[in-house]
Each structure stands twice: as C-alpha cells, then as structure tokens.
C-alpha cells in the first residue's frame, strides 16, 4: 500500500521517549541495588552511555523507514552522452569533435587544476576538439624522458645524451647539445632535458606523447585547453546547446554542466545535473507530454527511483542516455510543460520496499499481465511486489500493440480462420491477413498430417486434409529460452504467466478413408510451437516484431492465439498507466492508485511505501 509515513515518526518519537524514561527508572533501581547510594554516580554514567548509544541506533533504524528531509537539493546525477556515433553499453564509437553553443553565461574549468578557468561568451558557438598533440606536463628543471620530444615552445634547451638503445660495445657517447625547436632523440634510451629559457614564464612545461582537449570559438581562436574540463553556469536555468552528428538527436539543449574528458581515443561528454532537472529530460521521451498528468506523475516516481538506484559513485558517470541500458534522456525542453509539472508535483517522492530504494522497472506495455523479474533475469529472491496480475487497462489501451489469430470452433466459408490486429481500440484485419491465414492453416494441417495414420486414410500430404474446426487449444510449455524462466511461480505461489512456447491442439479434420468415397470427420491431437508461426518462423502468421508473450484462450465461438506485450512487462506499464489515468474511476485514475497496482504489497513481506526523501 502506498502511503506517507509522517505519522509514524511523530508517534515513534513519543513512544521512544516513554521507553527511555522507563529504562532510566529501571537502571536507577538496579544501580542502587548493586552499588548502594555511594556507587550510584559511576554506575549510572556507564548505564546512561549505553542507553544513549542504543537510542541513537534505534532512531537510525526508525528514520531509515520514514520520509526524512535531506539537507540540500536533489542529488546530482551524471549522464554520459555520445557526442556522435553510436553507443554500446560503455563503449563509444571514437569521436574527436563536438559543437556546443552557450545559452547563458558559462565558465570553463580545468578539473585537474581548478584555478585554471576562463569565461565563455553567451550566444557563442564553440568547437570542442580532441587533440593528439603533446600535453605531458613536468615541473621546470631536469627531466628524464625517452623517445621523441617536441620542445618548440622553448627558446633554448640542452639535451644531455646518456646512452644508446643498442649495446655496441663502444664507450657511451656523452655530449651536450644546444638546440631550438623540435628535437628527436628516439635512438637513445635516456636523455636529460634541461630547460635554459622559456618563451613564457611558467612553473611547468608540456612535452612528450599524450592527448588533450581544446575549445575554439567560431572564429577559430583557441579559448581553453585541458585534459579534463567542466563547463558550468551558476544560474541553474541556463542551457548548453549540443549540436551532434548522432542519429536521431540533432540539436538539443541541456541544463547543468558539461564535463569533457578523454577515454579510449574518444571524446567523452558527461552532463552533470540535479536529479529533478534530469527527469525533465526523461519523461517526455519515456512517455509523452500528451499523456494524462496522473500517468506522468507515476512515471516520474518510477524514473526518480531508477535514477537514484544508479548513483553508485562511479568515477566518471552514473548512466547513459539510452533506453537500451538506462532511461531515454534528451536534455531540457521548456515546451514539455506537462512532464515538468509531473516532476515538480512529485518532487523527491520515491517508492521504498521496506528500507530499500526500489528499482521500479517499467515498460511500454505488459500485454495484459504484469511480469516478474525472476522470469526475465533469473533473480532468485522474490519480493512482495513480484506478483503476476491481470491488467485489463493495458490491453484496453487503443495504442497497445497486439495481434491474434482467430480459430473458429466450427469453420465455415462464412466463418473462416482470421488474422487480426488491434487498431484504434478495435480488432481489425490488415494487409497481412491473407498471408497469416494461409500459413497458420497450412501449419495446422501439416501437424495433423504427421499424426494421421496413412494406412487407414488417404493422407499423402497436408493437402489431403481440410480443417473442420478447433476443439481445444491448451497452453503447454512456458518459454524458457534465452536464459529466461517463465515457469517460476510468483510470490503468491501461482504462475499466471502467458509467455508460452508450446500448446496442445485437438482439431477436427476431414480426411478420406482408404477405399472410401467421401471425406469423414475425425479428431486429431498434436503439439504446436509458437515460434514456428512467429514473425521469423517457418510459417509466420504474426507480423509485429518485438511482441513478447504468446498464448491461447477461448470464448463461446472461437479459440484465439495472441501475441502481446511490448517490452519486458515488469513493473509499471506505460500504456496501462495512461489508460488508468484516463479512467473516470477515482479508485484507479490517480498516480498513487497506479503505483499501488503495479507495485503491490503482499502479506508477510516488507511494505511498498511512497516516501519523500528531499
């Protein structure tokens, strides 16, 4: 049950006070009994110290289960953004340049030397380049260095040659060499570079191999350079425009700060910002700004939970900006007003399972039944909210992706096998109906052909069989492919999972007996494999790729084979939440009611509670 824990804190402190009072009285009596009145002071000091330690521990446990206003604002989250190319987990296509525009007054800082800063101009466009120039830094003085060295910034240097790479048996050649400009000494194992005079006064010099980052204005003038830099503004409302060559991203605006650093010969970009502002850039793309507000608020809580669960102290970033490995994040857009409102109206609210911040998974559509993580990811420990529940609102949503095959219990010319697709809230056939019907019809006759006795009936091919009707289809084997385990019971001890691989079919067919003059009707039984009639099977009767569950059910006149669910189906269904929020029923249309359904409690397990953490 989702509710606020504030009253628990008030009454908890009250009863803790009563308990402490009784403990003090008890300890006083014990001290008198054991030590007499003269030993009371020493004994009471020891006992009081123990009580204070216990009290602190008790309050720590208590406060861990209630909403506590944390000091400061929302925590900072770091999102890595590929400035170009593609992303695969934490590996990026090597990229060496990014274009940014300042929409406000920003400062750039060298993270390795914070005193090194520069101002960036409002409205200016800058190019950030990954350079392969020499940027190894040493303190002025004598420096030992191997290989090729560029010293063009110095008026005069002395190279002291100490030895050669190859042992030739001759005496070491020792010489001092004065030289301006670039000097190559790659034939020697060790040289000593002594700086005699610098063009500019500095406490350190740079040479050798390495990489660096430079920022240039639109005129091409170098503005700043560092191996690791941060661009930030103190207002919190200014934005940086990122102009990328990344497919589908184009130009986007971001709040917070930009950190550019180098890794794997690629320019890396991390957007650092507070969690609430980050959510402004998540909701419009995980749902839509057109979704009802209560659905967006439920999504905001889930996305906040997910974001908090990803802040683990990685040295560079917490998550990326894609739906493949995290949440879709596309920066800040002030026009996404409903999404911004949903974030603001749920500020700091998260779901906790006991004392744990929940991961709060969500997906586009669960196909009518919520899923549990044990089925998808081999998670062994079942939580109280790991329940498979029928979700009629998901499949009622006109935008939920669904398709089905209709197999009449009695097939006639006027009541044939059909392929149907869920379109605008109704079942209707589409352009794939002819292909789908042909394939399922042939596959069923092929399965029947394999079990009909050819010594009794004229049955040389599936073409010798015609389908009269479907007596029954019984879901048989759960799909456990790809290391999934859909046969595991949920926390209630039941398993209503609809992700099946096989089903048993009993079908009435017409076939001619050997020596007979007309077909006769017989019942045949066999097992069908849903993969065979899937989008990539041998006899595809379904056509929407990416749907996750396959199962059969019936009504009074037909059997149906369904394909539903877009996404993993665990936790909140975005289409289900949308449909619930559009309902007129106050028992289901609020964001708390939506969260209640998708993250339910179960007797004997820790509660799921909505709490405010900042």
User: pLDDT tens across 372-384, in order?
Assistant: 999 998 777 899 9
Determine the distance from the C-alpha atom of residue 11 to the mean position of all C-alpha atoms in its chain, rounded to a whole number: 38
Please tell me the distance from the alpha carbon of residue 552 to that of residue 563, in angstroms, as a whole number.
9
Q: Examine the pLDDT at 445 and tell me if it is beyond 70.
A: yes
| Whole-number pLDDT of residue 247 | 66
Please tell me the distance from the alpha carbon of residue 562 to that of residue 423, in angstroms, as a whole number.
15
pLDDT tens figures, 559-594: 999 999 999 999 999 999 999 999 999 999 999 999
Q: Are 118 and 223 in contact (CB under 8 A)?
A: yes
Q: Which of 213-217, 297-301, 366-370 is predicted with the least confidence, judged by mean pLDDT? A: 213-217
| Residue 100: pLDDT band with limits 50, 70, 90 | very high
State the Cα angle at 380 between 603 and 504, rounded to 5°: 90
CA distances from 484 to 42, 373, 575 (A): 64, 10, 24
| Residue 27: pLDDT band with limits 50, 70, 90 | very low
Q: Where does 429-497 show beta strands of DSSP type E?
A: 466-478
State the Cα angle at 46 between 44 and 51, rounded to 5°: 90
Identify the three-state secondary structure at position 410.
coil
Please tell me the distance from the alpha carbon of residue 294 to that of residue 60, in angstroms, as a whole number.
34
State the Cα angle at 178 between 173 and 181, rounded to 5°: 120
Please give the structure tokens belonging to residue 94.
């090597």
Q: How many C-beta atoms lie closer than 10 Å to residue 501's C-beta? A: 17
Q: Examine the pLDDT at 124 and tell me if it is beyond 70.
A: yes
Q: Examine the pLDDT at 180 and tell me if it is beyond 90.
A: no
Closest CA to 391 of 570, 555, 562, 558: 570
Please give the structure tokens belonging to residue 127.
């190019």
470: CB partners within 8 A, 6+ apart? 407, 408, 409, 411, 505, 506, 507, 508, 559
> What's the rounded mean pLDDT across residues 135-147?
44
Q: Examine the pLDDT at 87 and tell me if it is beyond 90.
A: no
Please tell me the distance from the alpha carbon of residue 367 to that of residue 270, in angstroms, as a whole number.
36
pLDDT tens figures, 319-359: 888 766 678 999 999 999 999 999 999 999 999 999 999 98
169: CB partners within 8 A, 6+ apart? none
pLDDT tens figures, 472-529: 999 999 999 888 999 999 999 999 999 999 999 999 999 999 999 999 999 999 999 9
Largest Cα–Cα distance in the chain? 118
> What's the rounded mean pLDDT across residues 98-102?
94
Q: Examine the pLDDT at 368 and tell me if it is beyond 90.
A: yes
pTM of structure: 0.76
Closest CA to 239 of 276, 273, 284, 285: 273
């Amino acid at each position: 049950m989702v509710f606020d824990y504030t009253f628990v804190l008030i009454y908890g402190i009250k009863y803790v006070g009563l308990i402490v009072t009784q403990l003090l009285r008890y300890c006083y009596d014990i001290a008198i009994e054991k030590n007499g009145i003269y030993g009371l002071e020493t004994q009471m000091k020891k006992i009081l110290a123990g009580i204070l330690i216990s009290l602190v521990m008790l309050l720590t446990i208590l406060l861990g289960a209630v909403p506590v206003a944390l000091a400061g604002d929302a925590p900072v989250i770091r999102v890595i953004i590929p400035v170009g190319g593609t992303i695969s987990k934490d590996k990026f296509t090597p990229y060496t340049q990014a274009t940014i525009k300042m929409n406000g007054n920003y400062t750039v800082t060298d993270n390795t030397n914070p005193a090194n800063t520069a101002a960036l101009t409002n409205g200016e466009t800058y190019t950030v380049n990954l350079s392969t120039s020499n940027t190894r830094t040493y303190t002025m003085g004598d420096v030992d260095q191997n290989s090729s060295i560029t010293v063009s910034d110095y008026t005069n240097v002395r190279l002291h040659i100490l030895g050669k790479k190859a042992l030739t048996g001759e005496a070491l050649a020792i010489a001092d060499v004065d030289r301006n400009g670039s000097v190559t000494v790659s034939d020697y194992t060790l040289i000593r570079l002594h700086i005699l005079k610098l063009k500019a006064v500095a406490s350190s010099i740079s040479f050798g191999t390495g990489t660096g980052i430079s920022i240039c204005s639109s005129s091409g003038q170098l503005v700043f350079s560092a191996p690791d830099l941060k661009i930030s503004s103190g207002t919190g409302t200014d934005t940086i425009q990122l102009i990328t060559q990344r497919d589908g991203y184009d130009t986007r605006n971001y709040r917070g700060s930009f950190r550019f650093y180098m890794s794997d010969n690629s320019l890396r970009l991390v957007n650092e910002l507070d969690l609430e502002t980050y959510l402004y850039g998540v909701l419009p793309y995980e749902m839509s700004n057109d979704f009802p507000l209560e659905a967006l608020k439920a999504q905001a809580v889930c996305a906040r939970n997910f974001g908090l669960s990803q802040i683990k102290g990685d040295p560079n970033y917490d998550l990326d900006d894609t739906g493949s490995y995290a949440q879709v994040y596309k920066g800040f857009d002030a026009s996404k007003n409903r999404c911004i409102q949903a974030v603001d109206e749920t500020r700091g609210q998260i779901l906790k399972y006991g004392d744990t911040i929940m991961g709060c998974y969500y997906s586009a559509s669960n196909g009518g039944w919520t899923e549990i993580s044990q089925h998808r990811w081999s998670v062994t420990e079942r939580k109280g909210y790991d329940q498979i529940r029928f979700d009629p609102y998901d499949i009622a949503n006109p935008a939920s992706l669904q398709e089905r095959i209709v197999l009449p219990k009695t097939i006639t010319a006027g009541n044939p096998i059909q392929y149907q697709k869920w379109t605008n809230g109704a079942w209707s056939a589409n352009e794939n109906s002819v292909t789908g019907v042909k394939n399922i019809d042939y596959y069923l006759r092929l399965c029947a052909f394999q079990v009909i006795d050819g010594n009794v009936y004229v049955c040389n091919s599936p073409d010798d069989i015609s389908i009269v009707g479907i007596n029954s289809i019984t879901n048989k084997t759960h799909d456990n492919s790809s290391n999934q385990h859909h046969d595991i019971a949920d926390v209630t001890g039941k398993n209503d999972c609809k992700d099946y691989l096989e089903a048993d079919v009993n079908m009435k067919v017409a076939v001619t007996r050997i020596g007979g003059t007309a077909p006769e009707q017989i019942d045949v039984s066999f097992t069908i494999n849903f993969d065979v009639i899937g989008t990539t099977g041998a006899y595809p009767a379904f056509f929407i790729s990416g749907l996750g569950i396959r199962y059969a059910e019936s009504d009074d006149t037909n059997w149906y084979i369904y394909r539903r669910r877009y996404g993993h189906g665990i936790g909140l269904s975005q289409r289900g939440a949308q449909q619930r929020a559009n309902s007129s029923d106050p028992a289901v249309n609020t964001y708390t009611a939506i969260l209640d359904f998708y993250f339910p409690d179960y007797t004997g397990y820790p509660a799921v509670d909505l709490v405010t953490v900042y």
